Structure 1
């Protein structure tokens, strides 16, 4: 069922509930209009997040912060979900993979949450920031090398760069050997693309990885989780890895794509740093748009609305960050006061590494392709129609074609070339292009992506 608008511009509600439908192409094309209408009803309002799935959506910054900071009244364990327990949620609902219970820190509360989260935060704290930055740049160079020599000097940034980059970084961060890393990437990519049995592929690959690390511990995040004093079981380690993968891949893809599109757009003020583009993305285009389901432990009155016990209350990060009551004074707040990473005891434990990866990805793109620019104005780019995330469908770019080599290949080339030819980036003049060639072609990253990346880093 598609969303329609009345002549007044107010979205028509779902006939079953009378609720605004927070899904479909109309919502995706102009979510701000929906949020503005919902704000007129108060700090929260009932919406359908998927067909037949009603939730209370919080659009107020202050109300969102209140919920985040009151874990005694608002818990995250979705086994409390009243409609689900009563059989009123369709079995094939797209909301179930997003909101259904999993034994990880995200869906836990109290002591169970503290134990799992401590294992995650302590393990993340061992990640060397300098090494992570180098791995991000290395991954970026590899992906850029796949399209930088395109004779037309054109590429599609989301598929060729923003989507695979986090997967390469995470495969390295988790200490995956090539074959397992390939399957991890295939599995997590398939989950986001709706590929049948993708979760089985991912689960199998991570199970093998955990077994490998039991035999051969390493200096990686998987091993750190396994040897932590919280004594996680192998199943618990697996679910924390799945959470880090799924919770990091899509938001980072969105952040890299949007930040790049902002920074490369003709409207971006000259002189403002790349970090400002990432900050603006987190404020105005929150990668996770509507999520973080909370379940009131008792009826709670909030801003004139009664939030019913055991009925899901979702936070609209997108609407809260652009709340007019907040934006009037936003310049006086910290740049980190946005809610894109959540707040309270369930705030994202990897927000600093995530910010660094996004900023480094944009920086690498600009450094390797100095004249890169978007082929479509930022305001004309198309957004995905998902209620869960705010991500661009495509970001067409153009640049002067050039070759990007790995550090190993660059050193090998330099050893046999005269001085002055030792750069890892070399500009190449455009060559003749057949008339039948498409405007741009995204490189194929399916299958053995991690193996090919590792081979490239060795100059093979």
Structure 2
């Protein structure tokens, strides 16, 4: 659906509703202009999140916080959705996979939500931070090893690094054997790419993983969920795993990519730590841009508008974080006051591990490829034209070709603030043994199988 902008620069509304469309290339190229226009309409305004799908979008930081922290007035169970129940949402709408009900903590309220969330948070609390850093570094080393010795010294960072890294980490945390891990990665990747049958691939792999853990429990998140005192059914375990995968991989991919690009940009001040780039990403480029559908339990007045019971109200984390009323005193706020991880009872239960994975991924890239730089200025990078996330499409990089071998990692693995790591040996010259190793047949199987074999030194 092609939209024209009027001479004032304010985007035109969707012909179906007269609403501003929050999808397509025009929105993707400049979402801030759309948010600025919506702010002139009040703390919230009607938009089309997909063709023929109207929602109320909240762009105010204070109003977003109010909604997120008031579950009694704003429920998350999308079975309340009026338009869906009345058959007014197209059956093939791209909004349905994002907003449709699933039996997980994200779409539950009250006691059901408390039970499922407790199982998730308690299970996540068992993840050892040192092990998580080590696993992230191993995953980073493996992925960098796949492109670091390319003769031209060029790669595309999103596809080669930011996208697969969270999947490798999660596959290991869930305790996946190599073959099941391959199918989990294929399934979740296929879902984001729109591959037919990807849902079935992911569901089948996770069901097999759960059945395996019934007979062979381990020190992993899948087992922790299964043995939790909440007594989750196998179906409930499966849906929590799907939530962790889908709710974790795409935002982490965006955070790793944007933070890396920010740090490598000419505008980034020399000497600032990697963590600052991750924090700036979470504030200014919220990986989950517009989401968290809430359904008023009764008609509610907000900023002069009536939010009708059962009509979806989405929080724009991206717009709330850049609310001009907030930025005036943002320097006085905690670095963690952003809403990128949500707030209230449905706030992301994995925000600390997620931050650690993103920061470690960027640090590992800088340590393994100390002279890496972008081939395109940050301001010229393209963003995905989707309302749900804020993610770069590609990040072309260049570097001095070098070999990256499996490393034994100890300690936190934190990189110095000023990129002072010593470069590994460049590889214009290789020994006969090295050439033979490089020419040897690679282990068969998918990405996760090859990663596990690489870690074992095979």
Global fold match (TM > 0.5): yes
What is residue 2 of structure 1 aligned with on the other side?
2
CA distance in 2, matches of 1:446, 1:118: 39
- The separation in 1 between residues aligned to 2:365 and 2:407, in whole angstroms, is 16
Alpha-carbon distance, 1:447 to partner: 6.0
CA contact (8 A) 1:404 1:425 kept: no
Match of 1:456 in 2: 454
Q: Distance in 1 between matches of 2:301 and 2:153?
A: 57
Query: Which structure 2 residue ranges, 5 or more long, are not aligned?
Result: 409-420, 430-442
CA 1:302/1:447 → structure 2, altered by over 3 Å: closer, same or farther? farther
Cα distance in 1 for partners of 2:374, 2:423 equals 21
2:135 corresponds to which residue? 135
Partner of 2:192: 192
- Per the alignment, residue 172 of structure 1 pairs with 172
Determine if contact 1:407/1:459 at 8 Å carries over to the other structure.
no
The equivalent residue for 1:35 is 35
The list of structure 1 runs, each at least 4 consecutive aligned residues, that deviate by more than 4 angstroms after superposition, is none
Distance in 1 (CA, whole Å) between partners of 2:15 and 2:183 is 43
Contact 1:293 1:315 in 2 (8 A): yes
The CA deviation at 1:430 is: 5.3
**Residues 367 and 422 of structure 2 are in contact (CA less than 8 Å); yes or no, is this contact kept in structure 1?**
no
What residue in structure 2 maps to residue 397 of structure 1? 397
Contact conserved, 1:152 with 1:430, CA < 8 A, in 2? no
Query: Over aligned residue pairs, what C-alpha RMSD do you find?
Result: 1.6
Measure, in 1, the Cα distance between the counterparts of 2:55 and 2:310. Answer: 11
Q: Scaled by the length of structure 2, what TM-score is found?
A: 0.93
CA–CA distance in structure 1, aligned partners of residues 377 and 344 of structure 2: 37
Correspondence 1:86 to 2:86 = yes
Structure 1 gaps, min length 5: 409-422, 432-444
Deviation at 1:188, TM superposition (A): 0.3
* Distance (Å, rounded) in 2 between the aligned partners of 1:243 and 1:428: 41
CA distance change for structure 1 residues 302 and 386 in 2, over 3 Å: closer, same or farther?
same
Q: What is the Cα deviation at residue 429 of structure 1?
A: 5.1
Q: CA deviation at 1:14?
A: 1.0
TM-score with structure 1 length normalisation? Answer: 0.93
For 1:442, the equivalent position in structure 2 comes to none
Could you give the per-residue CA deviations for residues 35-91 of structure 1, whole angstroms, max 9, x where no partner exists? 000000000000000000000000000000000011000000000000000000000
Q: Which residue of 2 aligns with 1:291?
A: 291
Q: Distance in 2 between matches of 1:351 and 1:69?
A: 17
Q: Measure, in 1, the Cα distance between the counterparts of 2:245 and 2:261.
A: 24
How many residues matched?
434
1:71 match: 71
Q: Which deviates more from structure 2 when the two are superposed, residues 327-336 or residues 398-407?
A: 398-407
* Contact persistence 2:401–2:427 (CA under 8 A): yes
**Cα drift, residue 424 of structure 1:** 12
User: Is it true that 1:261 corresponds to 2:267 in the alignment?
Assistant: no
On the 8 A contact 2:5/2:12 being kept in 1, the answer is: yes
What CA deviation, in whole Å up to 9, does each residue of 1:220-239 have, x standing for no partner? 00000000000000000000
1:2 and 1:322 map into 2 onto residues whose CA distance is 27
Corresponding residue for residue 227 of structure 1: 227
Q: Write the distance in 1 (CA, Å) between the matches of 2:423 and 2:449.
A: 23
Contact 1:296 1:309 in 2 (8 A): yes
Cα pair 1:406 1:424 within 8 Å, conserved:
no
Conserved 8 A contact 2:370-2:422: no
2:425 equivalent in structure 1: 427
Match in the other structure for 2:243: 243
Instruction: Quote the residue 1:204 is aligned against.
Output: 204
List per-residue Cα deviations over 1:112-145 (Å, max 9, x = no partner): 0000000000000000010000000000000000
Q: Distance in 1 between matches of 2:261 and 2:445?
A: 27
Partner Cα distance (2:380, 2:135) in 1: 33
Q: For residues 392 and 148 of structure 1, what CA distance do their matches in structure 2 show?
A: 21
1:459 Cα deviation from its structure 2 partner: 1.1
